[in-house]
Amino acid sequence: MDEKPELDHKQVKDRLPISFSLYQDLRKATDLLIGYDDYIQVVCHDDADGITAGAILTRALARADYFLKTKVVNRIDESVVDDLARERMGFYVFADIGSGYSRLIELLADRTGAYIIVLDHHKVVAKSNKFIQINCNDHGISGSFETSGSVMAFLFSCVLDIGNFDLLDLALAGAAGDKQKIYGFTGLNSLLAELGVKNGIFKIDTGMELYGKGIAGSLRHTFDPYFKGLSGRDQEIVEFLGKLGLSSDSVPERMNPKERTALNSALMLRLVKAEAHYGTMKNMINKRYYSTRMDIHIEEIAGIVNGCGNLEEHSLALAFCLSPGRFRESATKIASRFNERVLEKLIELEKGLEVLDAMDYFIAAEDQQAGTATGVAIRYLSDGNRPLLGVTIRDEIINISGRGTKELVEKGLDLAEALSKAAKETGGMGGGHPVASGATIPKDGLKGFMDSVNATVSQQMTG
């Protein structure tokens, strides 16, 4: 039912670029499946990384003839545990979510007595002997920059059966979705990318991440890269391309070298003028990975799945990952609807961000818009020298999503610590990665929360 490229399995297995301790942990987890013949529940996070992780596990477990269900969740709380426990499964596999919710997963274990495996790259809050937790951070691999939830799901699938190595395209699409490709892949991601190229899973080309049928359409509907004063606007794009002597439907890949250089330089100049984050600019023209199996760049997969995930079109996003040929068009259409909303917000943010001592912030109408816009704005509308928080105020609660840069983390920034501490103080919950983190707090807690994050961040950056 699905086509797989021919792989030299032995060669891939011998070269799976992971430590023996990580292999052993994964092996312990896959061994639990031996002899298990009832339903498996896969639970994954609702962003591009999580959904590709869910798709990888779905495909790998289906190939091994397991019955399974896949559920996409935004967070884990008691009602999610209730729903999962009601399914009465004997086996749960969590991917790209779980390490931040130890207590709730223990609760699920207590209520079901099921086997539970967590494959994650988010910060581990607590260890537990009630479930198996495999987290890259425990093996010296950075969950912020070097490995995603989808890659953890991929490794698990490869240890289950090395024939699943062809799913590497989805794994690295998830890593790209988690912004782990901004500087080019590093660490484990890059070792896997190289192995993928060697085995014909990827074809490499070089360029900006502008995909689609024509350059005008890409600039109109893409927010990453984002060009201040240009992206998302019709009139400005026509004028911009006109000055370069390019037509709206020309495609970068098919331009002659002179045209392409003119386009790239004009776009780069815009980033310089916008005083965008230096690390982002430096990596603007970068290697791109084309999946020969899925017939699409993995960076574009990430964008499509991210858009569908954010509009809660989880089944469509999963279907696209599993059958890209059939679902690409409909999934792309949904994703561009989401992109429109993010672009709207970014155009508004061009007027300026709210400023505190140690960080910037903005208020957005929707959580999804805030989450995505924060990750874009910190790189394209800010020099990235201060973390950025996007805040959504709902009826009873406030959601906050925070983003930093690699450079800030290297200087001491830890948003997971700052946001979880501030959330705890104001009666909420928070966590994530040092570079990207989120929190939910009660409605009256915003002032206290912002003051606390601001104080912690300023301490981290000076201490």
User: Is residue 176 helix, strand or coil?
Assistant: helix
For Mn ion, how many residues bind (rule: CB under 5 A)? 4
> Smallest distance, Å, CB 377 to Mn ion?
20
Q: Whose Cβ is closer to Mn ion: residue 193's or residue 219's?
A: 193
Q: Which stretch binds Mn ion (CB under 5 A): 76-84, 141-149, 318-326, 353-361?
A: 141-149
Q: Which stretch binds Mn ion (CB under 5 A): 21-29, 46-54, 155-163, 454-462?
A: 46-54
> Smallest distance, Å, CB 310 to Mn ion?
14
Q: Whose Cβ is closer to Mn ion: residue 48's or residue 294's?
A: 48
Strand order in the sheet with 202-207: 202-207, 286-291, 296-297
What six digits make up the tokens of 22?
A: 């990580």
The pairs formed by 272-275 with CB atoms below 8 angstroms and a separation of 24 or more are 273/228, 274/227, 274/228, 274/229, 274/380, 274/381, 275/383
- Residues 325 and 20: their CA atoms lie apart, in Å, by 37
Q: Which stretch binds Mn ion (CB under 5 A): 43-51, 249-257, 299-307, 447-455?
A: 43-51
Q: Whose Cβ is closer to Mn ion: residue 136's or residue 335's?
A: 136
Q: Whose Cβ is closer to Mn ion: residue 149's or residue 212's?
A: 149
What six digits make up the tokens of 136?
A: 């890259």
> Smallest distance, Å, CB 353 to Mn ion?
25
Interaction between residue 307 and Mn ion (CB under 5 A): no
> Smallest distance, Å, CB 317 to Mn ion?
14
Report the residue number whose CB is nearest to Mn ion: 49
> Smallest distance, Å, CB 45 to Mn ion?
6
Q: Which stretch binds Mn ion (CB under 5 A): 147-155, 161-169, 276-284, 384-392?
A: 147-155
- Residues 9 and 98: their CA atoms lie apart, in Å, by 31
Q: Which stretch binds Mn ion (CB under 5 A): 133-141, 145-153, 162-170, 309-317?
A: 145-153
Identify the helix (H) or strand (E) that includes residue 115.
Answer: strand 115-120
Q: Which stretch binds Mn ion (CB under 5 A): 90-98, 292-300, 372-380, 411-419?
A: 90-98
71 φ/ψ angles, rounded to the nearest 5 degrees: -125, 135
| DSSP code string of 291-352 | ETTTTEEHHHHHHHHHHHHHTT-HHHHHHHHH-HHHHHHHHHHHHHHHHHHHHHHHHHHTT-
Interaction between residue 149 and Mn ion (CB under 5 A): yes
> Smallest distance, Å, CB 53 to Mn ion?
8
User: Which one-letter amino acid corresponds to residue 51?
Assistant: I
User: Is residue 414 helix, strand or coil?
Assistant: coil
Q: Cβ-count burial of 207 within 10 angstroms (0-12 exposed, 13-18 middle, 19+ buried)?
A: middle
Interaction between residue 299 and Mn ion (CB under 5 A): no
Interaction between residue 178 and Mn ion (CB under 5 A): yes
Inter-residue contact 418 to 430 (CB < 8 Å):
no
Interaction between residue 120 and Mn ion (CB under 5 A): no
Q: Which of 25, 46, 49, 146 binds Mn ion (CB under 5 A)?
A: 49
> Smallest distance, Å, CB 153 to Mn ion?
10
Q: Which of 25, 96, 360, 414 binds Mn ion (CB under 5 A)?
A: 96
- Residues 287 and 208: their CA atoms lie apart, in Å, by 9
- Residues 66 and 55: their CA atoms lie apart, in Å, by 14
> Smallest distance, Å, CB 49 to Mn ion?
3
118 φ/ψ angles, rounded to the nearest 5 degrees: -115, 125
* Interacting residues toward Mn ion by CB under 5 A: 49, 96, 149, 178
